[in-house]
Amino acid sequence: MLFLDGARAKTPPRVLAPVGGKKKRKNPAGVSSVFHPPALGLGSMDCPAAFLLALALLVREAEGTCFYQGLSFENNTVWKPDSCQECGCHGDIVLCEAVACRDPRCNFEKEEILQISPNSCCPECAERTEGFCEYEGQLREPNAEWASSGCRTCSCANGEVTCAPQRCSALSCEDNEVEHVGPGECCPKCVSRRDSCSFDGEIIPNKKEWRLSPCAKCVCRDGSLRCFTIFCPPAFCSADESLVVPAGKCCPECARKPCFASGALYQHGEEWKKDACTTCVCDTGESRCFTKSCLPLNCRQEENKVRRPGKCCEECVLSEGSCVHNGTLKYHSDMWHDTDCNFCTCDGGRVACRKAKCARVDCGQGEELSHLPGKCCPECISRGGPCIYKDSTKDSGEKWKEGLCRECECLHSKVNCYSRSCLTCPPGSVAVAVHGECCPQCKPGRCHPDCLTCAQAFDRCDACRESTKFLLNGRCVDSCGVGFYPDAGLCVACKELCSTCTNKFGCTSCQASLHLKDAQCVTSCGERFFPGPLQCTACHESCATCRGPTANNCSTCRDPSLALLEGTCVANCGQRFYVTDGVCRACQEGCDRCYLDRLRCLSCASGRVLLDGNCLSECPHGYYADGSRKCRVCHSSCTGCTGPLPTQCTSCSFPQAFYQGRCLLACGEGFYQHHNLCKGCHSSCRACVGPEHSHCTRCTNPEEKLQPYLSLEERPVGACLPQCRAQFYSNEDGICKACHSSCLSCTGGSPENCTICASPQVFHEGRCISECPEGWYHQESRCYACHPSCKTCSGAEDDECTACHPHASFLNGRCRTPCKREQYLNLVGYCAGCHPLCELCVADLHTDRGSTCLRCRDIHHLLLKDRCVPDCPVGFYQLGGECQKCHPSCKTCTGEGPFSCTSCDASLVLSHAGSCLSACSLGFYQDDNLHCKRTWCLSFSVLFGRMF
């Protein structure tokens, strides 16, 4: 509250502040604000203390700051306001406790004394000082003299104080002088009658001032008595404050709401003890309390735990014995003062009291010795610091004028300003202003016609002649106008922040940027109100702050358990919202419920699925939506799926392919891979690379042959045909391979595997040659053996020779020799015998065997080159009465060519087609006899596998 112009801001009684840290004195230096109090008609004044007050009030509201005797303290700060008291700040409540003194255990037998050091509370042991005197609690040096109360002079000699009335020197005053003894003075002085003043029968010396009352003072100046009343700056109170003049004070103050607690009334800022451990403070009608916590206590063996009456926590006391003094229990080694300087101790159950002495005190500059109530010894107290006034510093005790009618002084760091009172001119005279003077002179004359009286000037009315008019700044007007209100014929200025008003207590409208609330102009409507078009209007009962009167205009909620949803306070935000800082905030798009950080959903709205806290229109590749609409990861083999199993895939990643819910590294028989899908082959294909009949890599029918058209990754690709095309042969895998370039058809890839030759070549013993060799003739592109008797021939008969043995004769197509029936003509020209089993033979013109048998003696024997055998050996087959050599691929056979085999060499197997292969074709298996047999189950799978 602001008391006087430039004064320090003061806090309510016993308001305490945060504990811990350093003392902080609010320094208003260099800060000034200007107040304009038109209601008092005193013009403007600079008032830095107002800023200090505002700053102090702001800090007061801050959590964890205490105020004590004009100082602020941070939370958890501990300080000593005086030598016998220790205080601490807890939140914004101050707890103070008296310092407990302990027995210093002095040796009084050796003439030790109890002595209190300067600015200390508890006495200590000290040696007795010889020759020193104690007077009114202060130690005086030997032979010292001093003025005492009652106009006496005292001295110290040999430890004794002697006092006598003060002697005054004889006065001899002039005729125009008079003797005068002023208040607090002992001896009279001569004062001038001309310069002195008389007041209530007293002679007042020139320049002497005194207090007429707590709120006024007078001064004698050059024989003229001038009186001043204290200047009170305007006090602007908020809606929850009232304007009162506290007892013993001059100026009004704003008082906040008091508190009623435990049947007692406490003012704002006042503290009280609820119990031994709980201290409460009144804060604008509400009680706030702090309960002290006690630390664990471990006492020594010789100590006991006790809780003293009125104390919160236990303490350790010596167990040697207790005492009772004036009904109070004391413990061994306790010390207390019975009177200001009489200290008592409890020693083993006995009470002993002694008077303490005061040590010598030397005060520093700016301090004075003062004996505080309840203290034994005087202490050095600051005379008061300087004052800050209108951005300048005034020394303590300094006085100055401000204009003609105002005087100010700095006292105890506070500025008091007084306004001079002027006498009212009697009727028939008017006040005439005098240059350089505060008060006008009264001279005969008449007032302005509008004035009934005019004490200050001819045209400055004190009252209006017409009762219907109002007095405004010395003029009589018909209406007061904006910023003033009529009161008992006067136009009184509204409060500073008002635009219009009807009385001194409140406004009816406010200046720009301010709001009208409870007839007061405020910068903010505060909680539970909002600025309406004319004044602050109450919010809905559910709102703490709002922007309109209805339930859906809340900005914050009155009930902290409620949350703000689109301007309405609700108990539950509902779906698609989350609560943070008491506000319902929308979840991200698609969320049904979400976490407090908004960024992660708990569940999703209809048509959405949840993945990693996000709501999506559909699950991404690699995930599927379960029954609760949450995206779950697919099996590792799938890139898309309908469930977690490997059989629930819907798409696959390369190189895998999709088939019937699975992702396969290979599609399997009857299918080919197309863009990560397995598609069915043509019905003729057992395996394929595409849908066409020409895309087969293996055939469905084991009887068919794969006729390749191209090769992919060393795999032949083609169509499945009943047999290979011309110039191709089927290998053991059923794949058509190209014949040797000399063959038109063949059974293998070598030149010896031809079966048909292209014209003009002729076939001879598996080869295609340009012409038949000697001993062979050409017929239908094949070479046939001549009759053994012919060297060359045109047919197979013995009469179709065209050339003969060199030693044989040629006649009518026949070759004749001179040899007997069982002989033959050898190449040397001699007749040699046939094989014993041979009945008829001829020379072998093409090998070195010698002869070729033409007929056997035994009709059951068979011809085998140059001999007769009962059976054809392995590798030969019977054709008529002769043994013909099997195809080179056959071990045994029943005819010519590669498909007449009946058995094969150990490294080959006999196929179903009668050929010898390295392995059985697809659809066949190898039995124990190395024969290829049809696999009926494989055929079944090939036939029906596409259905699954």
Bridge partners (DSSP) listed for residue 85: 82, 98
Helix extents (H) in 641-786? none
pLDDT of residue 5: 33
Report the distance separating Cα 606 and Cα 201, nearest Å: 101
Q: What is the pLDDT of residue 777?
A: 92
Lowest mean pLDDT among 107-111, 311-315, 538-542, 893-897: 107-111
Predicted pLDDT of residue 477: 93
Residue 40 has pLDDT above 70, yes or no: no
Check residue 869 and give its pLDDT.
92
Which of 52-66, 130-144, 174-188, 701-715 has the largest mean confidence?
701-715
Q: What band does 345 get if pLDDT is binned at 50, 70 and 90?
A: very high
Q: What's the chain's average pLDDT?
A: 80
- Residue 937, classed as helix, strand or coil, is helix
Q: Quick one: tokens of 829?
A: 């020209």
- Encoding tokens for residue 60? 């007061």
- Burial class, 652, CB count within 10 angstroms (exposed 0-12 / middle 13-18 / buried 19+): buried
pLDDT tier, 63 (very low <50, low <70, confident <90, very high otherwise): low
pLDDT band at residue 359 using 50, 70 and 90 as cut-offs: confident
User: Which CA distances in Å does 260 have to 264, 265, 266?
Assistant: 6, 5, 6
The answer, yes or no, to whether residue 211 has pLDDT greater than 60, is yes
pLDDT of residue 631: 92
Q: Which residue reads 């001999």 in tokens?
A: 867
pLDDT score at 598: 63
Beta carbons within 10 angstroms of residue 503's beta carbon: 14
Query: pLDDT band for position 292 (50/70/90)?
Result: confident
CB 650 within 8 A of CB 660: no
Q: Region 450-460: what's the mean pLDDT?
A: 80
pLDDT tier, 239 (very low <50, low <70, confident <90, very high otherwise): low
Alpha-carbon distance of 173 to 192, in angstroms, equals 9
| Percent above pLDDT 70 for the chain | 89
Tokens of residue 441, six digits:
């002179």
The reported pLDDT for the residue numbered 29 is 30
pTM for the structure as a whole: 0.37
Position 885 pLDDT exceeds 60: yes
Average pLDDT, integer, range 888-910: 88
DSSP 763: E
Beta bridge mates, 148: 152
How many C-beta atoms surround the C-beta of residue 615 within 10 A?
A: 23
Contact 78, 19 (CB under 8 A): yes
Give residue-wise pLDDT tens across range 754-803.
888 888 888 887 788 889 998 899 988 888 888 888 889 999 898 999 99
Query: Whole-angstrom distance between the N-terminal and C-terminal Cα of the chain?
Result: 96
Return the SS3 of 149: coil
Which residue in the block uniquely carries the two structure tokens 């001699």? Answer: 830
Q: Where is pLDDT greater, at 662 or 129? A: 662
Q: Is the pLDDT of residue 231 over 80?
A: no
> Contact at 8 Å (CB) between 262 and 274?
yes
When mean pLDDT is compared across 65-74, 155-164, 338-347, 666-675, the lowest value belongs to 65-74
DSSP 247-281: TT-SS-EEEE--EEETTEEE-TT-EEESSSSEEEE
669 vs 688: CA distance, rounded Å: 8
Judge contact between 42 and 289, C-beta under 8 A: no
How far is residue 818's CA from residue 825's CA, in Å, rounded to a whole number? 8
The C-alpha atoms of residue 706 and residue 36 are separated, in whole angstroms, by 114
Tokens 């990643």 -> residue = 653
Mean pLDDT, to the nearest integer, of 81-97?
A: 85
Q: How confident is the model at residue 17 (pLDDT cuts 50, 70, 90)?
A: very low
pLDDT bracket for residue 384 (50, 70, 90)? low
* pLDDT at position 253: 80
Radius of gyration of the CA atoms of the chain, in A: 68
pLDDT band at 28 (very low <50, low <70, confident <90, very high): very low
pLDDT for residue 286 is more than 60: yes
Map tokens 């009934």 to a residue.
452
Rounded to an integer, what distance in angstroms lies between the CA atom of residue 60 and that of residue 52? Answer: 12
Question: Which whole number is the average pLDDT over 853-862?
Answer: 89
Tens-place pLDDT, residues 829-852: 889 988 888 888 888 877 777 888
Lowest mean pLDDT among 5-14, 190-199, 403-412, 723-732: 5-14
Kindly state the average pLDDT of the residues 620-629. 88
Residue 693 has pLDDT above 60, yes or no: yes
Instruction: Compare 416 and 680 and report the one with higher pLDDT.
Output: 680
Mean pLDDT (whole number) for 877-905: 89
State what percent of residues in the chain have pLDDT above 90: 9
What's the rounded mean pLDDT across residues 737-759?
Answer: 81
- Asked whether residue 194 carries a pLDDT value surpassing 70, the answer given is yes
* Lowest model confidence (mean pLDDT) among 35-39, 293-297, 435-439: 35-39
Residue 392: CB partners within 8 Å, gap ≥ 6?
Answer: none
| Mean pLDDT on 674-694 | 89
d(CA 27, CA 72): 11
The pLDDT, as a whole number, for residue 944 is 39
CA angle, residues 321, 323, 325, in degrees to nearest 5: 170
Residue written as token pair 């898309």: 640
Q: Is 847 exposed, middle or buried (0-12, 13-18, 19+ CB in 10 A)?
A: exposed
Name the nearest CA neighbour of 387 among 429, 350, 415: 415
pLDDT at 901 over 90: yes
d(Cα 856, Cα 649) in Å, to the nearest integer? 78
- In this prediction, residue 568 carries a pLDDT of 92
How is 598-624 classified by DSSP, letter by letter?
SSSEEEE-TT-EEETTEEESSPPTTEE
| Rounded Cα gap, residues 568 and 542, in angstroms | 8
474, 461 contact by CB (below 8 A):
yes
Is the pLDDT at 50 greater than 50, yes or no? no
By the 8 A CB rule, do 305 and 295 touch?
no
Report the distance separating Cα 556 and Cα 571, nearest Å: 13
pLDDT band at 70 (very low <50, low <70, confident <90, very high): low
Stronger pLDDT, 938 or 114, i.e. the higher one: 114
Report how far Cα 490 is from the mean position of its chain's Cα atoms: 63
Check if the beta carbon of residue 48 is closer than 8 Å to that of residue 388.
yes
Cα separation of 473 and 483, whole Å? 13
Residue 6 pLDDT exceeds 60? no
Closest CA to 156 of 166, 144, 164: 144
**β-bridge pairing 357-358 and 112-116:** parallel
Contact of 147 with 138, CB cutoff 8 Å: no
pLDDT in tens, 556-589: 888 888 999 989 999 988 888 888 888 888 888 8
Q: Tell me: pLDDT of 496 over 70.
A: yes
**Predicted local distance difference test score (pLDDT) of residue 937:** 60
Residue 232: which region, alpha, beta or left (left: phi > 0; alpha: psi -120 to 50)?
A: beta
Q: Tokens 């610091």 — which residue? A: 385
Q: Helix %, strand %, coil % for the chain, to 5?
A: 5, 45, 55
**Least confident residue range of 108-112, 295-299, 314-318, 706-710:** 108-112
